[in-house]
Amino acid sequence: MQFTDVRPAEPFELSAAARALLAERAERAVGAARRQRAPALAAVTVPIPAELDASAVVLRARGPDDRYFCFEQPDRDGFALAGLGCAIALEASGPGRFREVAVRARDLGRRAYVDDPASDADRPAAAGPVFVGGFAFAPDGGANPEWAELSPASLTLPEVALVRHRGQARLTISLVADVDDVAEALVERAERRLEGLAPAAMPLLDPDPVQPTRVASAAPPEHFEQAVARAVERIQSGELQKIVLAREVRAHSATEHDPGAVLGALREVFPACFCWCVGTPGLAFVGASPELLVRRDGARAATVALAGTTGRSADPAVDDHLGEQLLGSVKDREEQAIVARRIERTLEPVSVWVTAADDPVIVKVQNVQHLATPIRAQLADPVPAVELAGMLLPTPAVGGEPRERALPLIPALEGLDRGWYAGAVGWTDLAEDGEFCVALRCALLRGKIAHLYAGCGIVRDSVPEAELAESEAKLDALLPLLS
């Protein structure tokens, strides 16, 4: 991977005052860890130039043993969050995995020596210590070897986090002290991490590879069509209202897939989407999702019911006509309404009020357009963003309805381990605010092999051939970049 340095490295050096503050907080964190026999957090947040490319900085600085994380939505006032290293990892599995990691994050927050957010009125969202990562689709998802480095629930507190939003940017250095740690050694380790940072530009995809990439379905396309047909039979018998079925396609390259180049291309092509890269020493999970699972800001929560898909056209008149057909499609409106009703019912028990738009709107991305209904809620209790994500996932947009009947059928009909596909990727802070997107239009990169996933909502009127064609359209979000 070749990065281009564009500025000197000074933006990442701590001032004498910032270093002294970090050292003081590290001493306090070590003391708290020893008194309470539990990890404690020390962090300092400083301004950095907003023109820096946070993701490129992190991808350039990562070492072979590092975890890293990039999460962007360029069209949302240039939002970008990137993290490097692991100060502490929170992992869990099983049905209670969301609550378990939320409780552990809250517990660490009780022993946190950090900046007061009120002292920096211009700081962007996600400034300060943040936990980043995601969750598998199923409680124990990702059992197959290709997912081995991503637990069913995995949130990491990066040693270094950079965030940019609305013309403001911040860098946060985080230390987690344990009972045997020495404060000065923790600060020195943090400074070594900062010394590895330098401004950079994102690498580019090779436009003309020497050898072509071989693309093949993990299972024959006919297998997917047969699964759709069996699902339609169950729906027509009254057993289900809807079920989402996915398929996997693999891209075998002559050289290793470059996650930085793929992420750079995704954010250029899909600037309205959540573009992410969750990286470990052995893999990178990348994607560009149009679907917000949940965003919490204090007592306010927001989400989107997204379901129903059609293609795009280079001709504006044809493109608009396709959107109008989607709005008028009984099949797609039914699929979309199922998702919206389920989300509203899920949020109502923890909310003062929940409101949804009366009618869906069209959301257009590069290669497809969807039906979407924005949904907002005023929370009755401060439910953490992570736990809200756990309540909502999986929505009928990626699971099915009724949930208790659909979910056991999905692996039986699909015949694949979804891992983090259709799970959640995002971040949460010490105030338990944050945001997570649904992990769609994504690929798992492992060396020379990329595993791509796409799913379709199956309802009473679904046609197997049409659902296969829809899955191909969704795969086209990433496949051209990888092949």
Residue 291 annotated among the catalytic residues of the structure? yes
Instruction: Give the Cα separation of 400 and 241 in Å (integer).
Output: 8
Contact of 443 with 258, CB cutoff 8 Å: no
C-alpha distances in Å from residue 256, one per residue of 142, 196, 205: 22, 24, 12
Main-chain phi, psi angles of 355, to 5 degrees: -135, 140
Catalytic residue among 291, 335, 435, 470: 291
Catalytic one of 27, 242, 414, 467: 242
Q: Which residues contact 29 (CB under 8 A, 6 or more apart)?
A: 40, 41, 42, 111, 113, 175, 176, 177, 183
Q: CA triplet 135, 136, 142: central angle to 5 degrees?
A: 135
Residues 6+ apart with CB under 8 A from 293: 303, 389, 392, 393, 395, 424, 426, 436, 437, 438
Question: Rounded to an integer, what distance in angstroms lies between the CA atom of residue 385 and that of residue 103?
Answer: 12
448 is a catalytic site residue: no
Instruction: Give strand ranges (E) for 95-177.
Output: 112-113, 130-135, 153-157, 160-165, 168-177
Contact 101, 91 (CB under 8 A): yes
CA 265 vs. chain centroid, Å, equals: 17
Region of 85 (left: φ > 0; alpha: ψ -120 to 50; beta: rest) is: left
Residue 220 gets the label, from left (phi > 0), alpha (psi -120 to 50) or beta, of beta
Rounded (10°) angle between helices 385-392 and 330-347: 140
Residues in the chain: 483
Alpha-carbon distance of 133 to 424, in angstroms, equals 8
Q: Nearest Cα to 384, choosing from 175, 132, 98, 169?
A: 98
**Contact by Cβ (8 Å): 244, 455:** yes
For tokens 């600060």, what's the residue? 187
Which residues are tagged catalytic?
242, 291
